[in-house]
Structure formats: C-alpha cells, structure tokens
Amino acid sequence: MLDMDTINAAMVRQKTPEQIAANAAIAKKAELNQEDFLTLMISQLKNQDPFKPMDPAQYVGQLAQFSSVSGLASMNKNITALSESLRGNQVLDGAALIGRTVIAAGNTVYRYAPTEGADAMPTQGTIDVPSGASSVQLVVRDSAGTLVKSQALETQSGVSGFRWDGTTNAGSLAAPGAYRIEVIARVGDENVSLNTSVAAQVSSVALDPATGALTLDTDSLGEIAMSDVERVL
C-alpha cells in the first residue's frame, strides 16, 4: 500500500524552478489590488440578474470598504517615509550640538586622564538652593563609595553653580574613573539632598535603535538622552 505522505514529498522534490516561480506568481496574484477590485465590480454589474438587481447601497459599501483598506495601506507607507525623514533630520539637528556644552540632570560624572600638556577639565554644574539653608556641602565619592572630596558651597537661595576641580581632600588629583556627586543642604534640623545638573561637552550623537530617541555622548556624563538636556551653552 502506497504512503501518500511519501508520494507528496516526492512530488515536492520533483518541482522544477519554473513551477516554483509560477506558484509564487499565483500566490502574489491572489492579493487583490485596486485594478482587480474594479474589474470584479464591473463583471458583477454585467452579470447581475436584471430582475433582481443588487442594492446600490451594497456597491457603495464595497467601495467604501476597499477605499478604507487602500487608504490605510497608503497612509502606512506615508507614515513610514515621514518617520525615516524625521529620523534623518533629528540626527542632523543633533550634529549641531557636537562640540557644544549642555547642562543635564545627573550625579554620576566621569573623569579622564589629562592629555599631555593639558589639565583635566573640572566638573561644573548647577543646583537650586532652598531658602533657609544654613550650609550647603558638595560631597564627591568614588565608585566604591569612599569619600574623595567635601567642600562648602554658597548658601544663597536660588539657582547656583558649583565646581569640583578634580582634587581630593588631601590635595592630590583624583584618579580617572567614575564618581558620584551629591550636594547636601542643611535646612533647619534636616539634611536635604539637592538635585544636581552637570555641564558636559557633546562629542557625538546617535539614535537609540530601540526607541529612535536621539542620544548624546558627552565627556563628563557619558551617554544621555536629548530629552534630559536642560540647557545648551
């Protein structure tokens, strides 16, 4: 007794390239385009029973349905093209920031070894000092949490700048690496940790492949999102 699965498998193996191409063309033709739709409607009109004509509302409904589907497909293509265009414009706009200094929220900063004949750039940023602060302290710790530097800042309320010159409490230059900065204000009987924003120079820009958002590669904050930038200097 013959096994039909074996026969079918053998027939598949015996298909020629021409047959495979023909089958692919038939499968593609199975998709109904606008021209095919109109041809079918004209044939339907010609062959309908004159004594029982189709309700014109049904034709209108079919036309509206096809028009809706066709319109959505066209809209998707236009949206895709617009999205690609916007992505390109976003990169070009971001490229104008290369070499510029931006201010963005952050508390982890990076220090690099100074190049020959040049000093390491200081870390600078801004804070918003609350009213009634009796003292404001900048605290810098290394990646292990060890205290590296502490220094007093101005207590005047409002937006104020701060600066860490890269030295330790002992007066030596801090080693290259990542550091965490914190600004603590003494208000009444409480210590309040203030939000810090850090100045960073943009070295390159890129698009996040996952979200499509523009990201900036900076010297002191590392990689940040364009949406996190508070000010461009």
List of domains in the chain: 4-93 (no CATH), 101-232 (2.60.40.4070)
Q: Which ranges of the chain would DSSP assign to H, the alpha helix?
A: 4-13, 17-29, 34-47, 56-95
| Portion of the chain with pLDDT greater than 90, in percent | 41
Q: How far apart are CA 89 and CA 175, in angstroms?
A: 39
Q: How far apart are CA 40 and CA 142, in angstroms?
A: 75
pTM of the full structure: 0.60
Q: What is the pLDDT of residue 155?
A: 95
> Strand, coil or helix: what is 28?
helix
Neighbours of 17 (CB within 10 A): 7
Phi, psi of 25 (to 5 degrees): -65, -40
Q: What is the pLDDT of residue 10?
A: 47
| Closest to 145 in 3D by CA, of 170, 181, 110, 120 | 181
Asked if residues 196 and 185 have their Cβ atoms less than 8 Å apart, the reply is no
pLDDT bin (cut points 50, 70, 90) of residue 7 is: very low
Q: What is the pLDDT of residue 233?
A: 87
pLDDT bin (cut points 50, 70, 90) of residue 43 is: confident
Higher pLDDT, 135 or 7: 135
Higher pLDDT, 126 or 17: 126
Phi-psi region of 117 (alpha: psi -120 to 50; beta: other; left: phi over 0): left
Q: What is the pLDDT of residue 72?
A: 57
The letter for the amino acid at 73 is A
Give pLDDT tens digits for 64-112. Answer: 665 665 555 666 665 555 555 555 566 777 788 899 999 999 999 998 8
The C-alpha angle 135, 137, 139, rounded to 5 degrees, equals 165
Give pLDDT tens digits for 154-172. Answer: 999 999 999 999 999 999 9
In this structure, of 17-21, 93-97, 122-126, 140-144, the range with the lowest mean pLDDT score is 17-21
* Averaged pLDDT for residues 52-56: 59
Residue 133 has pLDDT above 90, yes or no: yes
pLDDT bin (cut points 50, 70, 90) of residue 33 is: low
Q: How far apart are CA 218 and CA 228, in angstroms?
A: 13
In this structure, of 103-117, 123-137, 181-195, the range with the lowest mean pLDDT score is 103-117
Give pLDDT tens digits for 172-190. Answer: 999 999 999 999 999 999 9
Query: Residue 201 has which token pair?
Result: 């120079």
Q: How far apart are CA 111 and CA 121, in angstroms?
A: 8
pLDDT bin (cut points 50, 70, 90) of residue 206 is: confident
Query: Residue 221 has which token pair?
Result: 């904050």
What integer best gives the mean pLDDT of the chain?
A: 77
Q: What is the pLDDT of residue 2?
A: 45
Q: How far apart are CA 184 and CA 129, in angstroms?
A: 10
Q: How far apart are CA 43 and CA 48, in angstroms?
A: 8
Asked if residues 212 and 155 have their Cβ atoms less than 8 Å apart, the reply is no
Residue 211 has pLDDT above 90, yes or no: no
The letter for the amino acid at 157 is S
